[in-house]
A = this chain, B = another copy of it.
Amino acid sequence: MQNRVLLIEDDDELRELLARYLVNQGFSVREAANGRDGLVLALGQDCDIVVLDIMLPDINGLDVLRELRGRTHLPVILLTARGDETDRIVGFEVGADDYIPKPCNPRELVARLQALLRRIAWDQKTEVADGRAYGDLAVEPGQRRIYQNGVPLELTGTEYEVLQVLLAHAGSVVRKTDLMQWALGRRLEAYDRTLDMHISNLRKKLGNDHPPRIETVRGLGYSYRIPAP
């Protein structure tokens, strides 16, 4: 299956160079030397991905992109003058997927084209929900839920994060500073007892077993006890 690239670039020499290279790499290529032609081709549904120069004789490349985004979500890679940061940032904001500074390395262009096409191909496949089980607990990341013997635990968002991190490291100690960073997303400061509270609440919701599922390692952190096999 050949991927169809639309090349919108007014510099004939560069355009033909790139086109030849892309064809050699197994793409099928459409060419347009100005914005108007480019738009017509792009909207004509016969390409998979667009390479768009910002500097065009008629319509500005960014306007082409805006027009395109109003109607489709065709992936677009911008060609910009090297170092022109404004164009790049604006380009992303308008909805470009990527940019390459000119003069561009054809190999890099191909690499980026393929990365983008691969991303799209993957995303169009349905993801498998890979829940993992730890004893009587089962994590369902898609639902952001953790089930205990099939019954969903009524966890808050933060409690879910904390338990999920502990489970991922079941059997080994997670240091408090790491748990804080990974589950709460911030640094552990002195006298911050927040984490202790979440652990306390979690233990309650898991049913205060003895010995506790979540073990305290004094001076270090916490550890989820490996469930009996």
Contact = CB atoms under 8 A, between A and B. Distances in A.
A137 to B, nearest CB: 14
B97 A111 contact: no
A213 interface: no
Interface stretch (A53-61, A189-197, A201-209, A218-226): A218-226
A167 to B, nearest CB: 8
Interface in A1-49: 4, 28-31, 37, 40-41, 43-46
Contacts of A217: 144
**Interface-central residue, A41, A43, A111, A219, by most chain B CB under 10 Å:** A111
B122 A46 contact: no
Contact size class for A? Answer: 35 or more
B114 A168 contact: no
A219 B157 contact: yes
Interface string A105-119: 101100110111011
Contact of A178 (B37, B45, B123, B142): B37
A127 interface: yes
Contacts of A169: 40
Given A92-B112, A120-B123, 17 more contacts: A30-B181, A37-B178, A40-B168, A41-B182, A44-B165, A44-B168, A73-B119, A75-B119, A88-B108, A92-B111, A119-B119, A119-B123, A129-B172, A142-B171, A143-B172, A143-B173, A144-B173
Q: Which 5 pairs of residues, A with B, have the shortest CB-CB distance?
A: A123-B123, A45-B141, A92-B111, A142-B172, A73-B122
